[in-house]
Amino acid sequence: MAARPDHYKTLGVAKNATQDEIKKAYRKLARQYHPDRNAGNKDAEERFKQVSQAHDVLGDADKRKDYDRGTGPFGMGGGGGGFAGGAGGFDPGSFPGGFGDILSNLFGNAGETAGGVRGGRTRQRQQPGRDLETEVSISFEQAVNGAQVPLAVPTATTCTTCRGTGAKPGTAPKVCPQCQGRGVEAEGQGLFSISQPCSRCGGSGTVIEEPCPTCQGSGATKAIKRYRVTIPGGVRDGSRVRLAGKGEPGRNGGPPGDLYVVTRVAESPVFKRKGDHLEVEVPLTVAEAMAGATIEVPTLTAAKKLKVPAGTRPGTVQRIRGEGPPRLNGKGRGDIHYRWVIDMPEKLSKDQKAAVEEMSRAFDNGGDPRAGLFTGRTSGNDGDSS
């Protein structure tokens, strides 16, 4: 006989976890391994089944008590490991449905997994709502400082006519006559039986004979939901802001999904985002780069002065700490990096040419700056590229 699955280990929670902790763990794993996100991945599909089965048991207070005690469908008369009624034997009369119910309990928990019949009550399986994702366009300033922006999201909402049951008002879903509310059909294979989702109800355990005229039996209707979303300061292009519980509603009382808002940030003509920091290209004249200067540079709030050292080379970076955008983890702000570029004029005036020639004569005593390129080169090959 196969070992009893450890549902607590499957959900990654402690045995004394609260029902809310179990629900949160299930929602996280269900989103991670959902077949819609893992098409063709057999391991993910199997994991999703295990997670769903664990939630079916631990998410129901009565089932959880039976599971913890090892009684009911989760053990044989107290979890002794054998059948009741003596050493090595069993008493079919101790199970209301006889030997068929024993097999049903062993293979698939048919009366429980799909929300079948328990104590004469029809109980449909809760299904969490789908997560939704949408985009919002914001300016560079809004991304840096944070903002509240309006958002319209097409979604599904619980049908107000049937209150999500899918059945016409005055009626209710009925126990599936084919599977008797178990949600599965068992096919005999000798001593054992193989269970599969019911072909009539699809595994829900119930059928709707008179669908709701508003939602046509789906339990939900299309709607446009409008929100005013708080965008935190420091978001980047592609950041995701999570709105818990604002996704599609769950079925049969299941928890709603979440809404993820992806930020699309307009570019700034001055600042470029570099991780937690900003970068600005600052032009320098040839004279400023050579002789040094004190110049004004932009920040997010005002202009500040920076001292450019004499002999600054193109591409050199100086920074001002703590003047960048806020960090999303709340730990201060980034920096602004200033990258110096030399502003070379395309044409020179007569006076500028004369000044350059004078400067060239003044620097001739410094030697040839390219002399090092020819160190160790064999002489006599000047102009010979053959």
Q: How confident is the model at residue 188 (pLDDT cuts 50, 70, 90)?
A: low
pLDDT band, residue 364 (cuts 50/70/90): confident
Asked which of 95-109, 233-247, 346-360 is least confident by mean pLDDT, the reply is 95-109
In this predicted structure, what is the pLDDT of residue 278? 97
Evaluate if residue 386 carries a pLDDT over 50: no
368 pLDDT above the threshold of 80: no
Residue 337 pairs in a beta bridge with: 279, 319
Task: Of 32, 35, 22, 251, give the one whose Cα is nearest residue 125.
Answer: 251
Averaged pLDDT, 246-273: 88
Percent with pLDDT over 90 in the chain: 34
What integer is the mean pLDDT of 360-381?
Answer: 68
pLDDT score recorded for residue 149: 94
Q: Tell me, what's the pLDDT at 378?
A: 54
Distance of CA 123 to the CA centre of its chain: 31
Mean pLDDT of all residues in 194-215: 84
Instruction: Express each pLDDT in 292-321 by its tens digit.
Output: 999 999 999 999 999 999 999 999 999 999
Structure confidence at residue 218 as a pLDDT band (50, 70, 90) = confident
pLDDT value for 122: 45
Q: Determine what percent of the chain is predicted with pLDDT higher than 70.
A: 78
What would the mean pLDDT of 204-231 be, rounded to a whole number?
A: 88
On the question of pLDDT at 189 being above 70, the answer is no
- Tens-place pLDDT, residues 42-71: 888 888 889 888 888 898 888 888 888 877
CB proximity list for 207: less than 8 A, separation 6 or greater? 173, 174, 175, 176, 177, 200, 201
Per-residue model confidence (pLDDT) at position 342: 92
Q: Average the pLDDT over 68-88 and give the result.
A: 50
pLDDT tens-digit series, residues 319-349:
999 999 999 888 899 999 999 999 988 888 9
The mean pLDDT value for 131-155 works out to: 93
The packing angle between helices 19-33 and 42-58, to 10°, is: 160
pLDDT of residue 49: 87
- Average pLDDT along the chain: 79
Domains of the chain: 1-81 (1.10.287.110), 124-173+208-263 (2.60.260.20), 272-364 (2.60.260.20)
pLDDT higher for 199 or 350?
Answer: 350
Can you give the pTM of this predicted structure? 0.53
pLDDT higher than 50, residue 26 = yes
85-115 tens-digit pLDDT: 333 333 333 333 333 343 344 344 434 444 4
